[in-house]
Amino acid sequence: MNFLRIAPILLLAAGIAAGPSRTAAQQDDSQPTPPQSIKSLDLSAIDKSVDPCTDFYHYACGNWIKDNPIPADQVRWARSFSLLAERNRYLLWKDLSAAATDPKTPLEKKYGDYYAACMNTDLVNQKGLAPLEPAFKQIAELNDAHRVAAIVGDLAEKGDPAAFFRFSVQQDEKDSSKQIASVSQGGLSLPDRDYYIVDSKRFDNIRKLYVEHVTKMFTLAGDSPDEAAKEAAAVMQIETALAKASTSRTDLRQPENRYHIYTVADFERLAPDFDFAVYFKDVKVGQFDSLNVATPNFFKAVNDLIATEPVDAWKSYFRWRVLHTFAPNLPKAFFDENFDFFGKTLQGQKEPTPRWKECTMMTDRALGEAVGQDWVKQNFPPSAKASMDQLVAALEKAMGEDIKTLPWMSDATKQAAEEKLAMIRNKIGYPEHWRDYSALKVERDDLIGNLRRDDIFQRNWNLGHLGKPVDEKEWGMTPPTVNAYYEDSMNDINFPAGILQPPFFDPDIDPAVNFGGIGVVIGHEMTHGFDDQGAKYDGKGNLRQWQTEDDKKAFEERTSCVADEYSGFEAAPAHGDVPAQHLNGRLTLGENTADNGGLRIAYLALLNTLAAEGKSIDDKIDGYTEAQRYFLGFAQVWCQNQTEQSARQSALTDPHSPGQWRTNGSVENFDEFGKAFGCKKGQPMYPENSCRVW
């Protein structure tokens, strides 16, 4: 769950790393190879045996899907996102490996050493579990469940993440100029609370395999089989209790469900058996009198758990959290066992991600604004920034025009929407000021130590925002990232240089394809400001109702139409005694609304652009009209293959729909599609009744 409320266009993490995000050490010697070039529009990907009016996704992507099976190290393989991410990673790897062998500046030395430490698996194997021993020793000394806060704080202080909640500083939802402390639920190792609590054969089996996995990990750590089994049972018991006390992802999407301001004293009364004062002192946060408690019920339940669980159960849980968090960076036996469960079993990944990729991603996560500085010099010329400025302006103009024509909205609400639109800030490419990494110490022979120091560095950076003015120039994604986001409290749209490349953005292709690619991405992010979450915030990023009561009701009817439509889509089919997995239309509502709005306003922007150039939407290039090329460019962003396990996991955890439904769900709500392909009213992609919000 993303508590920064950042709404990215694609949740990339689902396709890349197995297990926790701090992934790295594994034993392989695969060598990077230069990536294939990616066509912005690939006419050979089209499967002409499919009727575009029946299933546009399989028409636009059919041949690509057949010809591009999922590589062994991936669980989701998407024509645009994955191929471009592979390319960006390769280029970043070249910088990192050069910096690791022959650094030219102190900053290159720092990220070169970070990368080199990650690559040195011989040393990882040689060290065994020694780097974790101090944490294990500290946990073993716990003798009273009322000292749980002290142990969590002590571990956090040293960069060993054992906390079963999240603590951070973020903007106040009702006064975005303030930065306040916030606590929320956490502490689960499986991908979602459903994995612990849903009663089904599939989840029963996953739970059984998970307990076996935890047992094996404890055994590898040197515990006797009996002891390990007992410890695993305790871990499962505590995590299940935390899962039961957790709010669902769908409910957490709504800001009113995660905004509860408490005084520190009242918060401490919620969980008197967990000494938060000790924890706050250990993580060295500044002084504060009140904070946001996103999930109060969770903390009440934590208190009950502290009162009822024996101290030995807590020791097992903390030992597990440390072991699990660092597992991908431990010796081969731990890495393999971790991959076997979190990669293979849970997601259907056949082989681990090659080590050079993991280490490149790990370095990007830790030092992204250091490694990104050279990367943007080589990959994002000033001319690209100027073209993006033009595109964003074209989309803003189109959205303004779209708002004016909305049939269901009163003039007062239209005016308020236009005001919010005018206040959206655009951030393109990379930060104006780079982050200062001088406080992060990196040692070339200490992988686990680097991860710990990075954890502390990132936390200090975040907690350091407490009470300070908001810096509008900070970024939530690193420059080479293939993604984009909108943030409610900032009311800004952000496009890292990583996505401003072909096939999304191609200076050498006709505007129709660019508008279908990056144009829809820009429109998608802008529409987030007006989706079922975003519309609750005003132009300053404060929770405040700006729609009239009647318009709010009409808006909710229209978003419900979208929610119901997508709930009808299947993410994975039924087979044997495993039932079909449908999408959750309420979990994916914001993203689907953004897709629908993005497709509509990018099309309007294309019409304006063509008109200014004296061209028509019916002009043909390579046998397709501009309108058809626009929709094909859009659909081909989403061509993908995904393992069934990963598709089922995404349906529960990912607020984005899979490629097939991002494509078909959007075009069937936009009549210009049916017209462009000469469909008959009533065909699946050109239905009599469709949904429209924006």
Residues designated as active site:
525, 595
301 or 392, CB closer to Zn ion? Answer: 392
Smallest gap from residue 507 Cβ to Zn ion (A): 25
Q: What is the DSSP string of 487-523?
A: ETTTTEEEEEGGGSSTTTS-TTS-HHHHIIIIIHHHH
Strand pairing of 570-572 and 581-582? antiparallel
Rounded to the nearest whole angstrom, what is the least distance from the CB of residue 591 to Zn ion in the complex?
5
The span from the CA of 172 to the CA of 261, in Å, is 9
147 DSSP assignment: G
Contact criterion met (CB below 8 Å) for 551 and 623: no
Is 352 strand, coil or helix?
A: coil
DSSP 158-204: TT----SEEEEEEEETTEEEEEEEEEEE---SSSSTHHHH--SHHHH
Q: Which is nearer to Zn ion, 309 or 591 (CB)?
A: 591
* Cα dihedral 53, 54, 57, 62 sign: negative
Measured distance CA(577)–CA(581) in Å, rounded: 12
Quick one: 322 or 594, whose CB is closer to Zn ion?
Answer: 594
For Zn ion, which is the closer residue by CB, 9 or 685? Answer: 9
SS3 label, residue 67: helix
User: Which of residues 195 and 485 has its CB atom nearest to Zn ion in the complex?
Assistant: 485
Rounded to whole angstroms, how far apart are CA atoms 464 and 257?
26
User: What span, in angstroms and rounded, lies between the C-alpha atoms of 562 and 661?
Assistant: 12
Residue 563 C-beta: closest distance to Zn ion, Å? 16
Spacing of C-alpha 592 from chain mean position: 15
Residue among 9 and 78 whose Cβ is closer to Zn ion: 9
Query: What is the smallest separation between the CB atom of 81 and Zn ion, expressed in angstroms?
Result: 13
* Radius of gyration from C-alpha coordinates of the chain: 25
Closer of 375 and 486 to Zn ion (Cβ): 486
Asked whether 492 and 424 are in contact (CB, 8 A), the reply is yes
**35 prior amide bond cis, ω within 30:** no
Supply the minimum distance, in Å, between the C-beta of residue 637 and Zn ion: 13
Whether the Cβ atoms of residue 283 and residue 156 lie closer than 8 Å to each other:
yes
Cβ-proximal residue to Zn ion, closest one: 7
The distance of closest approach from Cβ of residue 268 to Zn ion in the complex, given in angstroms and rounded to an integer, is 37
Residues 69 and 75 sit within 8 Å (Cβ to Cβ): no
DSSP class of residue 79? T
Smallest gap, in angstroms, from Cβ of residue 393 to Zn ion? 21
Of 78 and 270, CB closest to Zn ion: 78
Three-state SS string over 294-320 comes to CCHHHHHHHHHHHHHCCHHHHHHHHHH
Residues at the site binding Zn ion, with contacts judged by CB under 5 A: 7, 9, 591, 594
CB of 471 to Zn ion, least distance (A): 23
Best CA proximity match to 81, nearest among 465, 484, 383: 484
Phi, psi of 655 (to 5 degrees): -70, -5
Q: What minimum distance in Å lies between the beta carbon of 64 and Zn ion?
A: 23
Residue closer to Zn ion (CB basis): 484 or 679:
484
